[in-house]
Structure 1
Amino acid sequence: MKKINILVTPGPKLSNVDFYQFITSQANHIKSLGDTMLTDAELRNLVITILSFAEDFNKAILQVQKNLKSDDIATKNQVRDISISALKSWVKNATYSTDEAELRAANGLTTLLDTYGDIARMSLDKESGTIDKLVAEFEGPTYKPMVEKIGLSARLARLKADNNAFKALYEGRRAESITKDSAKAISLRRQVNEQYQILSSYVLLRAKMTDDAQYAEALQIINTIRKEYNELVARHKAALKAAEEKKKAEEKQKEEEQKKTKKS
């Protein structure tokens, strides 16, 4: 038996959407080898079965996403987007003040807002977290005096309330979705993964036992796509680590600024 290796699958570490693409990419590439090369009826059937299960799985995860994009959620999101715009407009108007203290405060707040980018264009989850972070900074010792100086407190409170209202509705809907549709998606993902493991094991075994090109080609496809997605997982892990380190550095800087403020 030949010594042939298969790369470790990144499947368990992938999101539902990435997992679906990971599976269907391999199955479709193997299928595209054509009937002339794929003479093994068992291999063809395994590929067809996986694609069928994968489509059912995709429908389930799309249903979960649809439940989280209902009209009432969209309305709540629009409300908080308006609050963001109102807050930014108030700060911008303050940059035209003839009062030097107000002008300094407005410029300081503008600089901070610029670091957050276009919050309203972020994904729903990311927007919620970003607004929470922004509000926390505005309410912190560094920026609170600036907020009060230009009379921004009411609009900040409005944004905080609108974001909390959105999160309450969104998280409640998410919980309902997890209870119903997500349970179905989890079950289907498990079935897809079981079929994928059968396919991978079958291809590896046949590639080791024979010199038939269809198995060598199929194994090459599996390894190539596994390598691609393993690299994706590694990049994501590195990005999370960098974000965590950045967060710790910012928290440390805030603590130092607070200490300086207390001393002064």
Structure 2
Amino acid sequence: MKLYTLNVARLQYLETGQFIIRFLTDFESLNLDAATDPEFKSLYDSLKTQSPIYDLALMQIRAKAETELLIAQDDIRDKKLGTLRRAIGVYRYSDEPAEQAAYNLLKILLTVYKNIETANFEAESLGLANLVAEFRNATYLPAVQTLGLTTHVNNLETANNNFKTTFNTRSTTTINTAVYDTKLLRKNILATYKDLAEYVFVMAKRKNTAFFVDTFTVVNNGRKYFADILARRLGNGGDVPPTV
């Protein structure tokens, strides 16, 4: 009997949360009573308390990443609109009557959507969608085609749709406004797990009771599962440090 080898320090941040949840879930599935042993119960209860807090910290990280992605995508669509405006502006002094007429018509349309980039995210999304639709209706499409702006209009639509997809599918989970020290939380929860795993291992050897033997099996099953994940990662390019 031995504890399955697992370098928990190599688990990524998300995997760490999954690893702890795996143990808690598997233990509960056996209907074992944690109160069978007071020391075990203390460690077990500590893990149960830390796990949801650690998950909140991970959600906070994900929400931050989503926010950064939204800001980046908003910047992209703003630049696509700016490019379209400049492309139209090129024809301001055109000597071709058709181009001059197209420029004047589209310039009036753009005036309606002046400063749309400064609107809130949802208002800008709707405004840009409406602008693209206007460019394609019977009134403005001939002018767009005359000035060769179809690609710019399509690019603006794509950038706006990309933003809307991210915005609409972002995490809707309400996150506590507290700022979590994820690194410290990870360190603490793994330290508690280490104490619990080693305690179960020792007690399973010394007492050999059904409770500790079954719990030890749960511990080892989880450790093997995640050790295999790490092994596959090593086989695909090396030892990857913990990341979110």
Which structure carries more helix by proportion? 1
The answer to whether 1:194 aligns with 2:191 is yes
Q: Distance in 2 between matches of 1:24 and 1:223?
A: 14
Residue deviations 1:123-152 (CA, integer Å, cap 9, x gap): xxxxxxxxxxxxxxxxxxxxxxxxxxxxxx
TM superposition shift of 1:192: 0.2
Asked if structure 2 preserves the Cα contact closer than 8 Å seen for 1:38 and 1:214, the reply is no
TM-score with structure 1 setting the length: 0.48
Residue deviations 1:172-210 (CA, integer Å, cap 9, x gap): xxxxxxxx957x000111110111011011101100101
Asked if structure 1 preserves the Cα contact closer than 8 Å seen for 2:21 and 2:51, the reply is yes
Instruction: State the 4+ residue runs in structure 1 displaced beyond 6 angstroms.
Output: none
Q: Which residue of 1 aligns with 2:43?
A: 46
The answer to whether 1:76 aligns with 2:75 is no
- Structure 1 residues 218 and 81: alpha-carbon distance in aligned structure 2, compared to 1, 3 A threshold: farther
Structure 1, gaps ≥5 residues long = 84-154, 163-179, 242-264
SS in 2 for 1:240: coil
The answer to whether 1:34 aligns with 2:31 is yes
SS in 1 for 2:66: coil
Q: Distance in 1 between matches of 2:191 and 2:61?
A: 22
Residue deviations 1:187-244 (CA, integer Å, cap 9, x gap): 1111101110110111011001012011111111111111111111111222235xxx
TM superposition shift of 1:57: 1.1
Picking from 220, 225, 229, the partner of 1:228 is: 225
Q: Which amino acid aligns with 2:37?
A: D
* Higher alpha-carbon Rg: 2
Asked if structure 2 preserves the Cα contact closer than 8 Å seen for 1:29 and 1:221, the reply is yes
TM superposition shift of 1:62: 1.0
- Structure 1 residues 62 and 69: alpha-carbon distance in aligned structure 2, compared to 1, 3 A threshold: same
Q: Distance in 2 between matches of 1:81 and 1:10?
A: 44
Asked if structure 2 preserves the Cα contact closer than 8 Å seen for 1:10 and 1:229, the reply is no
Structure 2, gaps ≥5 residues long = 80-151, 160-177, 239-244
Asked if structure 1 preserves the Cα contact closer than 8 Å seen for 2:34 and 2:44, the reply is no
TM-score with structure 2 setting the length: 0.52
Bigger RCO (CA 8 Å, 6+ sep) = 2
The answer to whether 1:185 aligns with 2:173 is no
Picking from 12, 17, 36, the partner of 2:14 is: 17
- Structure 1 residues 36 and 187: alpha-carbon distance in aligned structure 2, compared to 1, 3 A threshold: closer
Q: Which residue of 1 aligns with 2:52?
A: 55
Q: Which residue of 1 aligns with 2:105?
A: none
Q: Distance in 2 between matches of 1:82 and 1:239?
A: 39
Q: Which amino acid aligns with 2:58?
A: I
Among the aligned pairs, what percent are the same residue? 18
Figure out how many residues of one structure are paired with residues of the other and give that number: 147
